[in-house]
Amino acid sequence: MAKRTNSKTETPLGLQELGGWKLGDVVWGIRPNRAVFRGEIVQLYAKENLAQVLCDKGDGYLICEISTLEENSTKSLMRKKAKDYIPRS
């Protein structure tokens, strides 16, 4: 007789929403080195006001500030915004 597997889905631990952003949202972001990228939010950090994003282009997991995230934008608009962006120290 075959052994049954557990079919329960596990909910991710940690923060689910921060500053209007939720896990799983697809966003544009600006990294501290002013590089622009697009990806899906996988983790949020409330104390540092940061988001960990899985990049669509295969660059892996990237960290950016919540204030730099935008949902509806284009790469050219985000590059213009990145020129004026001053990363916190």
CATH hierarchy code of domain 17-82: 2.30.30.140
Residues 67-89 have a mean pLDDT of 93
E-strand ranges in the chain read: 17-18, 21-22, 26-30, 36-45, 50-55, 61-65
pLDDT at 4: 72
Task: Tell me which of 73 and 15 has the higher pLDDT.
Answer: 73
Where do the domains of the chain lie? 17-82
Q: pLDDT tens-digit profile of 20-61?
A: 999 999 999 999 999 999 999 999 999 999 999 999 998 899
User: Tokens for 4?
Assistant: 């049954």
Say how far apart CA 79 and CA 34 lie, in whole Å: 8
pTM of the model: 0.80
